Amino acid sequence: MGRLIVVSNRLPVTVTLEANERLDYRSSSGGLASGLSAYLEKQAAEQGTTSDSLWIGWPGSEMDERFQPEIKERLKSHYAAWPVFLTHEQVEGYYHGFSNGTLWPLFHYFHVYCEFSEENWQRYVEVNRKFAEAVAEIATEDDTIWVHDYQLMLVPQMLREKMPRARIGFFLHIPFPSHDIFRLLPRQWGRQLLQGLIGADLIGFHTYDYTHHFLRTILRLLGFDHSMGTVALGDRMLKVDTFPMGIEYNKFHDATQLPEVIAEKEELKNVMAGRQAILSVDRLDYTKGILNRLRAWELFLETNPDWRERVKLILIVVPSREAVGEYEIMKHQIDETVGRINGQYGGVGWTPIAYVYRSVPFANLVAAYSYADAALVTPLRDGMNLVAKEYVACRTNGRGVLILSEMAGAASELPESLLINPNSIPEIADAIKTALEMPEDEQRLRLDAMQDRIKRYDVVRWAQDFLHSLEKVADPDASVPTIRVTSEQTREFAERFCAAQRRLLFLDYDGTLVGFSGDPQSVKPGERVLRVLERLVKLPQTEVVVVSGRKHDTLNEWIGHIGVSIVAEHGAVIRRQDMEWHESPPPQHKWKQELRPILEAYVDRLPGSFVEEKLYCLVWHYRKADPELGPLRARELVDSLLAFTGNQTAVQVLPGNKIVELRDPAHNKGAVAAQIATDAGADFIVAVGDDVTDEDMFRGLPEGSITIKVGRPPTAAAYRVRSQEDVLTLLEEFAEAAECEEARR
Ligand code: ADQ
C-alpha cells in the first residue's frame, strides 16, 4: 500500500521569516487538513497499520533561496509536508492573477470581475508545471495522488505525462459553472484546463449540478461523451462523480462541552444581556453575499420595530485576499453599511450589529455557533459552504434555525433549513423573522433531520468515498472478467499461432484495424495495416478474414489485392481467398423503401447526419452532428423505427457507435464466421473486433477460439486490448514468430 499524497495550493502549515531571521512555522488546520488527518487515523485504526501521507503545496510566503533547504528539511521531518516555493511574480500571476482574478469570479458567475490576462495565464501554466514536477519527484506509482482545487487544474494531465500509470484524483471545491459561462474563457485556455483535469482517473464535485456542468462542457469542448459519469479515454477510463464534502461533525459537536467554549459562551451571554443573536460567519468575499445580508438586516429592523433592542446580529468576517481590488472595495462597503445601520438604529445600550473583522480562534467560533439562535448563511454562490454545517453540528440543545441560500452547494443536503434566494432582500428579511418566531418543536424537527444527515456523511466518509472510488477506477481490472492481453500473453498466443496446423484470423475493420472518422469513405488502411496483412496472408495454411459492415466494393478497392478473405456488409457479400464473390440470395428490399423516408426525416431534423445504403442494410450516421442533440435524435429514431417495424422479423434495428443501423438479421457476422470456421477446419482461430456486431462473432465461434475485444468491456470476448495500435502489434508478433519458424524449417 503506497502513501496518500495530497496536493493543494497551500500547505496546512505557513512558514514566515521573522525580523531576526528566525523561521516561524504555524499549522493552520483548515477543514481539509483536519478532515484528512481524521480519515488517516481512522484507516490506521481499522487496518492496524499506520497510513503514510505527504502534503505538497506552497508554504504561504515568498522565501529567500538561502532558507529553502532548511525549510524543506523541517517540513519533511516535522509536518510530513513538501514545499513548492514560489517567486513574487509567480504568486502575483498564478495565485492573485489567474486563480483569484479569473477562475474564482468566473466559476462563481461573477464574470464581469474576470481579468483575461495572457501573462497571468502563462504564470498559471508555469506554476502548475512546477507543482507537477514536485509531485513526480517524490511520488511512486504505488502512491495515491489527490490534487485539490481550481489553482491546480492543469496538474493531473501534466502528471499523467510523467507518470502514465499513477493513480490520480482531483477534487474541485468551488462550483463548476455551466458551459455557457465556462466558454467565456478564451478557447485555448478553456480546452487546456479541461485537458488538464481529464488527466485524472477521478474528478469529484460537491453537487450533481457541477458534475453535470462539467460533463456537458467536456462533451461540447472536447467531444468526450460519457455513460453514467464514465468517460472512455483511449486506453483508460475517467470517472466524474459527486462527493458533497462534510465536516468533522463530532469535533464541532463535542467541542461545545469544552471548558474554554463554555466560558466563552458565558461571556457572550453577559455581553448580550439576554438578547437573541443571529450569527453570520464568512471569509471576506463578494461571493458570500455579505452586503445583501446587511441590507436584509436593515429591512428587518425597519419593518419590525418591536424586534429592535431584542436581537443582535453578530457579524464575523475573516480578512482574505485584500490584495485583489474588488475585495478592498467590498471591505469599505461593508464597513460603511455596518456604520450606517448601527448609527441609524443603535443607541447607548444596544447596537444592532456586533462586527468582528478577524479570524477567530476555534473555541470562540464554536461558542458563537452554539450561542446563536439562528445563523444567516446567504452566499450568492458557494461551492459547498461548511459554515452552515458547522452551525448545525454545534446545536446541542435541540434549538437553532439555519437560514441558507439556495445558491450554496450545502442547500441540497440541508433542505430542512429556511432556504432563501440571496438576491431577494425581502425574502431574507422575512426568513429572519420566521427564524426568530419559529416554535421550538419545529426547530427540533428540522435540526434532527439535518444533524442526522451531516453526522453520517462527515468529512471522513467523504474522503473514504472519494479514495475508494479512485481505487476502483484506477484499477478496473479487479472487477472485470476479461483478461488484458499483456506482452507475455501476446508471446503465448504467437507460440500457439506458430505451432498450429491451420490458422484462421477474423479481423473487424473499423475501430479494430483503423480508427474512426467523420466520413466513412475516408478511412483507408494505412501502410502499417497493409504491410502486416500481406505478411500474414503469405504464411502457409493461414487465412485472414476481414469482417466488416462496409460495402464489398469499398473493401475490395482497399484490401482486395492483398489476398485476404472479405466478409462485407455483415456477411451478405463474401469472397474467400482467391475465390469469386458470393452474394447471398437477393435481399428483400421492401423494408428499405418503407423505412428510408423515416431516416431521411431525421436527416432533416439533425444537421450533419446522413443515410448510407448498403446491400443488406441502411445506416443513419450522426458522428458529425451536434454532440448533444445527436444521441437524443438517435434515441427518438430508434423508438419510431421500433414502433414502425413492430415484430417484423425481416429487419433488425441496431443502435451502434454514432450510428443507427437497420439490417437483415439473417446476415450477421456470427453466423458467417461460424460457417467459415467449420469449412476451414482450423486448429487456431482468433477473432478481433470492437463493436456490437462483433459480439455476434465472438459468440458464434467454436470453443477454444481466442476472442479479443478492442476497448472496454462488457463483451463476450475472453480477452481485451486497449487500441488499434495494440491489435497491429499483436498481428505483427504473429507474423514475426511464424516467419522465423518458417525460416528455421
Ligand atoms: P470557503 O470559501 O473558505 O471554502 P466555507 O466552506 O464556508 O468557505 O469554509 C470556511 C471555513 O473557514 C469554515 O470551516 C469556517 O469555520 C472557517 N471560518 C469562517 N469564518 C471564520 C472566522 N471568522 N474565523 C475562523 N474561522 C472561520 C471553499 C469553497 C466552499 C467549500 C469549501 C470546502 O468556497 O464553497 O465549502 O471550500 O470545499
Q: How far does the centroid of ligand 1 lie from the alpha carbon of residue 351, in Å?
A: 27
Q: Is pLDDT of 402 > 80?
A: yes
Burial of 487 (0-12, 13-18, 19+ CB in 10 A): exposed
Give the confidence band of 648 by pLDDT, cuts at 50, 70, 90: low
Atom in ligand 1 nearest the alpha carbon of residue 206: 38
Q: How far is the CA of 385 from the centre of ligand 1 (A)?
A: 6
User: What residues contact 734, with CB distance under 8 A and at least 6 apart?
Assistant: 493, 494, 497, 505, 536
Determine the average pLDDT of the residues in 589-616.
88
* Cα 64 from Cα 687, distance rounded (Å): 63
**Most confidently modeled range among 368-382, 560-574, 622-636:** 368-382
What is the pLDDT, as a whole number, of residue 51?
Answer: 65
CA 659 distance to own-chain centroid: 27
Residue 717's φ and ψ, nearest 5 degrees, are -70, 155
* Average pLDDT score over the chain: 91
Q: What is the pLDDT of residue 729?
A: 92
Could you say which of 149, 201, 508, 510 is catalytic? 508
Rounded distance between C-alpha atoms, residue 84 and residue 72, angstroms: 9
What's residue 252's pLDDT? 97
Question: Cα torsion for 322, 326, 329, 331, to the nearest 10°?
Answer: -50
Q: How many Å lie between the centroid of ligand 1 and the Cα of residue 57?
A: 19
The Cα–Cα gap between 335 and 185 comes to 33
How far apart CA 337 and CA 345 sit, in angstroms, is 12
Higher pLDDT, 584 or 499: 499
Question: What is the model's pLDDT at position 293?
Answer: 97
| Cα 429 to ligand 1 centre (Å) | 24
Minimum-distance ligand 1 atom for the alpha carbon of 31:
14
Mean pLDDT of 183-201: 97
- Report the distance separating Cα 242 and Cα 229, nearest Å: 10
Atom number of ligand 1 nearest to Cα 320: 3
Higher pLDDT, 204 or 696: 204
Q: Mean pLDDT, to the nearest integer, of 87-102? A: 96
Whether the CA torsion 636, 637, 640, 641 is positive or negative: it is negative
139, 493, 504, 672 from 678: Cα distances, Å: 54, 21, 11, 10
User: Is 390 a pocket residue for ligand 1 (Cβ < 6 Å)?
Assistant: yes
State phi, psi for 693 to the nearest 5 degrees: -70, -25
Residue with cell 474541485: 172
Which set of grid coordinates corresponds to residue 552?
464489398
pLDDT of residue 95: 95
pLDDT at 520 (0 to 100): 62
How much distance in Å is there from the Cα of 281 to the middle of ligand 1? 9
Predicted confidence at residue 473, as pLDDT, reads 87
Structure confidence at residue 536 as a pLDDT band (50, 70, 90): very high
Q: Render 542-602 in DSSP notation, one character per residue.
A: EEEEEE-SS-HHHHHHHHGGGT-EEEEGGGTEEE-TTS-EEEPSPP--HHHHHHHHHHHHH
Residue of 450, 371, 360 lying closest to 404 (CA atoms): 450
Query: Mean pLDDT, to the nearest integer, of 691-707?
Result: 88
Query: What b/e string do you get for 85-104 counting C-beta neighbours within 10 Å, with b at 16 or more?
Result: bbeeebbbbbbbbbbbbbbb
For the chain, the maximum distance between any two Cα atoms, rounded to a whole number of angstroms, is 110
pLDDT at 410: 97
What span, in angstroms and rounded, lies between the C-alpha atoms of 247 and 464?
A: 13
Residue 463 in contact with ligand 1 by CB distance below 6 A? no
User: Which atom of ligand 1 lies at the shortest distance from residue 358's CA?
Assistant: 23
pLDDT band at 581 (very low <50, low <70, confident <90, very high): confident
Average pLDDT over residues 102-123: 97
Q: Identify which of 557, 560, 588 has the alpha carbon closest to the alpha carbon of residue 572.
A: 588
The CA 329 to ligand 1 mean position distance, Å, reads 21
User: 196 in ligand 1 pocket by Cβ < 6 Å?
Assistant: no
Ligand 1 pocket member 283 (CB < 6 A): yes
CA atoms within 13 A on the CB side of 219: 24
Whether 47 shows a pLDDT value over 80: the answer reads: no
pLDDT band at 369 (very low <50, low <70, confident <90, very high): very high
- Burial degree of 147 (CB within 10 A; 0-12, 13-18, 19+): buried
479 confidence band (pLDDT: 50, 70, 90): low
Residue from 254, 686, 684 nearest 506 by CA: 686
Of the pLDDT bands very low, low, confident and very high (cuts 50, 70, 90), residue 50 is low
**Residue located nearest, by CA, to atom 3 of ligand 1:** 283
| 510 Cβ below 6 A of ligand 1 | no
- CA of 707 from ligand 1 middle (Å) equals 54
Q: What is the reported pLDDT for 572?
A: 79
Q: Judge whether residue 668 has pLDDT over 60.
A: yes
**Ligand 1 atom nearest to 173, measured from its CA:** 38
For 705-710, what is the mean pLDDT?
Answer: 93
- The residue nearest atom 19 of ligand 1, judged by CA position, is 282
Whether 383 lines ligand 1, by a CB cut-off of 6 Å, is yes
Better-scored residue on pLDDT, 578 or 498: 498
Query: To test the ligand 1 pocket, which listed residue (172, 283, 287) has its Cβ within 8 A of the most ligand atoms?
Result: 283
End-to-end Cα, the chain, rounded Å = 50
pLDDT computed for residue 49 by the predictor: 61
Q: Please, are residues 80 and 27 in contact by the beta-carbon 8 Å criterion?
A: no
| Angle formed by the axes of helices 290-303 and 425-437, nearest 10° | 60
Q: By mean pLDDT, which of 341-350, 373-382, 712-721 is the weakest?
A: 712-721
679: buried, middle or exposed (CB in 10 Å: 19+, 13-18, 0-12)? exposed
Nearest-CA neighbor of 716 among 690, 740, 739? 690
Which residue, judged by its Cα, is nearest atom 4 of ligand 1? 385
**DSSP string of 90-159?**
HIIIIIIIIIIIIIHHHHTT-GGG----HHHHHHHHHHHHHHHHHHHHH--TTSEEEEESGGGTTHHHHH
Q: Specify the residue with its C-alpha closest to ligand 1, atom 16.
A: 387
Top mutation candidate among 384, 402, 414, 458 for ligand 1, by most atoms within 8 Å of CB: 384
- Region 13-29: mean pLDDT is 88
Bridge partners for 313 per DSSP: 278, 353
Give the model's pLDDT for residue 356: 96
pLDDT at 33: 81
Residue 508 a catalytic site member: yes
How far, in Å, is the centroid of ligand 1 from the Cα of 30?
Answer: 8
Q: Is the CB of 174 under 6 A from ligand 1?
A: yes
SS3 category, 338 = helix
- Residue keyed to cell 443582535: 312
Determine whether the shortest distance from the Cβ of 394 to ligand 1 is under 6 A: no
Confidence of residue 589 (pLDDT cuts 50, 70, 90): low
Ligand 1 atom at minimum distance from 387 CA: 7
Which amino acid residue places its CA nearest to atom 8 of ligand 1? 385
- For the CA of 247, the closest atom of ligand 1 is 14
* Residues ≥6 apart with Cβ < 8 Å to 621: 520, 609, 610, 611, 612, 658, 659
Amino acid letter for position 225: D
Q: Is the CB of 687 under 6 A from ligand 1?
A: no
Judged by average pLDDT, the poorest of 544-558, 572-586, 687-701 is 572-586
Q: How confident is the model at residue 487 (pLDDT cuts 50, 70, 90)?
A: confident
pLDDT digit string, tens, across residues 53-69:
899 999 998 988 999 99
Given a cut of 60, whether residue 720 has pLDDT beyond it is yes
The amino acid that residue 81 corresponds to is A
What CA–CA distances, in Å, run from 139 to 13, 162, 195, 445, 620? 20, 11, 22, 48, 48
Tell me what pLDDT residue 478 has. Answer: 55
Task: Choose the weakest-confidence range: 278-287, 505-514, 670-679.
Answer: 670-679
CA-closest candidate to residue 149, choices 196, 185, 116, 117: 196
pLDDT of residue 580: 85
Q: Are the beta carbons of 156 and 474 closer than 8 angstroms?
A: no
| 3 state DSSP class of 24 | strand
Pair 174, 108: CB distance under 8 Å: yes
Q: What are phi and psi of 255, to 5 degrees?
A: -65, -20
**Residue from 210, 281, 316 to probe ligand 1 pocket by mutation (most atoms less than 8 Å from CB):** 281
704: left (phi over 0), alpha (psi -120 to 50) or beta: left
Is the C-alpha dihedral spanning 189, 193, 194, 195 positive or negative? positive
The confidence band for 42, taking pLDDT boundaries of 50, 70 and 90, is: confident
Residue 484, SS3? strand
- For ligand 1, atom 22: residue with the closest CA: 359
Check pocket membership of 386 for ligand 1, CB cut-off 6 A: yes
Higher per-residue confidence, 652 vs 439: 439
CA gap 246, 228 in Å, rounded: 24
Q: What angle do CA 225, 633, 197 make, to 5 degrees?
A: 15
Rounded to 5°, the CA angle 627-628-633 comes to 100
Distance 318 CA to ligand 1 centre (A): 9
Read off the pLDDT of residues 204-263 as tens digits, 9 standing for 90 and up.
999 999 999 999 999 999 989 888 899 988 778 899 999 999 999 999 999 999 999 999
For the cut 90, the answer to whether the pLDDT of residue 506 exceeds it is: yes
Q: What is the pLDDT of residue 669?
A: 82
DSSP string, 191-202: HHHHHHHTTSSE
What pLDDT sits at residue 134?
97
The closest alpha carbon to 432, from 273, 274, 276, 278, belongs to 278
Ligand 1 center to 460 CA (angstroms): 17
C-alpha cell at 644: 414502425
